[in-house]
Amino acid sequence: MAKQGTKVEKLDTRTWGHRWGFADTRFSINDDRSVTLSGTRYTLSGYKMFDLLPYVEEVLGIELDLQDPKQELQPKSVPSPNKNESFYQAVESHFKADQYTFDDAQRLLHSHGQTTSEEVYKVLYSQLERVADMVFHCESEQDARRMIELAKEHDVCLVPYGGGTSVSSALQLPPSESRMIVSVDMRRMRTIEWLDKDNLRACVQAGVTGMQLEEELNRQGFTSGHEPDSIELSTLGGWIATNASGMKKNRYGNIEQIVENITMITPEGVLEQIQPMPRASMGMQPQALLFGSEGNLGLITKAVIKIYPIPEVKKYGSLVFPDFELGVEFLHRLARTGYIPASIRLVDNVQFRFGQALKPVSTGLGAWMDKIKKIYLVKVRGIDLHKMAAATIVMEGSAKEVSYQEANIYNLAKQFKGMAAGAENGKRGYMLTYAIAYIRDFLGDLYVLGETFETSAPWSKVHQVCKAAEEELQRQHQEFDLPGKPYLSYRITQLYHTGVCIYFMFGFYTRGVENPEEIFGKIEHSLRQTIIDNGGSISHHHGVGKIRKDFLKETLSSLSMELIKSVKQCNDPLNIFGIRNNVFAVSNEDSP
């Protein structure tokens, strides 16, 4: 039977704010040129990394100047709010005083996501073009309805805000918006309204973060299975709005397979199915349009999601391959079997060496064992340490199921010269995902601009896409006459019957470069175009936002885009939700 009204009490707001992550966690440089990650949250925390800075200098072909870091702009310039007085008076009369604020720090914080060049760089070292005029904290569906009514009545622009983790410029406010902009923070709506153990589903409010959701579900013996890299900070509503994917999608599905029903409040009413169903042939399904809606249509207030009993067994594993190509062949074969694990990710050599650079220095017996392993790999197996690739594995399920997966995965890997590398390496490699997100801001202070982006591609185009991206980055780096060498690495993170998700990391050194964020944006745009030209998709799970707006014409037919615009016109004729993402963004070709 359904369990009613379980509230997720913990709301961790101890974050860096404009930078990524929690305030107790930060990379810092020690006097001996080692690097330490503060706090205790991650496996990387608390020890010295002596190889990280040498790795950065090697791959970028530069020497870091540690004595003169880039200085964050302080204090930050925040324009006075564009206050619609009649709207403000209405808000004041309908809501509690702690639900809205004109505080400059909060307004600035709610005016950007985590896109490197378009948002984070500007807020840290320059200035955002547009800042929210007010922040409103929504606490109920009634609040959502009332706020939308007031916005309609007083001609105010509303922008939904979840965890602020967007990397597609989806939270970048349109500079041309002359109306008062209100950022509607949904994170106080974090209640699990009911949990149905018989049918394995739960109704969850949209403002809950992944970490909060999993903590409460775990306490009751369940999991959602959705585990994106941003799980600590991103929200259920944000996952739906961006059409997200998680690291364990092989077992639990992407967000569109996890969610059974969505409730969205629009200026013209409520969009939702009357009842969640396992599946229903009901004709055209408006709910499908809510996945990837990116704040354009209304406020997502809750969703019914599938839940799963916590698996009996979770086991990590890892493999090494002589090169990335053999690793891809292995994954291609694995995708056609019946023993695909919850997660399996293959990293190229550049990213593999990055992971090694984050390890502590071995001493004593550990150092001796590492030396023996290296000799075995090089002398006995003939592996080139500058070509080898590695895969991390997570297996979940019953003991019998996991045992079956493990035996067959490792047997299959042998056919492609893959070697088992241990459960501990697998766990460490998997958990690195959460900690390495802090690297961007650490390196940014050392004049290294970096970003991640992803695509999906058919199996036959994987190597073509990766090679084309490498060549284009080299060409762009030379064209802009940038110092040192460009950095590009990639990993395969999700498997499909017809292809994969490829996740790229790229960056370059910017010391002495004028307007580096503009150059960065141009190079990134060029890389995305190159990926599409060579068979990749516009995005796999980050969404379109504004950063990919120019590529929609190569993704959707013009009539398809007009259909989406007509839905917007029907549900939001006054453009109350005027964030202008996706097909509603102004393309570079249309800009003055």
| 496 CB neighbour count, 10 Å cutoff | 15
Residue with tokens 């999906």: 456
- In eight-state DSSP terms, residue 361 is P
Sheet with 448-458, strands from edge to edge, namely 419-420, 313-321, 389-397, 343-347, 487-495, 499-509, 448-458
Write out the DSSP string of 272-300.
Answer: --SS--S----SS-GGGGGTT-TTSS-EE
d(CA 528, CA 366): 43
Burial of 440 (0-12, 13-18, 19+ CB in 10 A): buried
CA dist., res. 371 & res. 377, Å (int): 10
Q: At what angle do helices 324-334 and 399-414 cross, to 10 degrees?
A: 130
Query: Token digits for 553?
Result: 């014409």
Q: How far is CA 34 from CA 43, 47, 354, 431, 468, in A?
A: 17, 9, 15, 21, 35
Closest CA to 257 of 267, 272, 244: 244
298 and 264 Cβ atoms separated by less than 8 Å: yes
Tell which residue, 254, 215, 100, 233, has the closest CA to residue 167. Answer: 233
Question: What is the C-alpha separation between 422 and 147, in angstroms, rounded?
Answer: 54
Tokens of 436: 């390495």
CA distance 488 to 492: 14
Residues 143 and 121: their CA atoms lie apart, in Å, by: 34
Q: Could you give the CA distance from residue 513 to residue 174 in angstroms, rounded to a whole number?
A: 27
User: Strand (E) positions, 186-287?
Assistant: 191-196, 201-205, 222-223, 259-266, 269-271
Contact 183, 111 (CB under 8 A): yes
Amino acid letter, 562 = E
Closest listed residue to residue 144, CA positions, set 101, 105, 94: 94
Within 13 Å, how many C-alpha atoms sit on residue 590's CB side? Answer: 8
Three-state DSSP string of 115-174: CHHHHHHHHHHCCCCCCCCEEEECCCHHHHHHHHHHHHHHCCEEEEECCCCCCCCCCCCC
Is residue 31 helix, strand or coil?
coil
CB 419 within 8 A of CB 320: yes
What are the catalytic residues?
503
The sign of the dihedral angle between the CA atoms of 356, 361, 365, 367 is positive
Count the neighbouring beta carbons within 10 Å of the beta carbon of residue 371.
11
The vertex-447 CA angle with 444 and 452, nearest 5°, equals 45
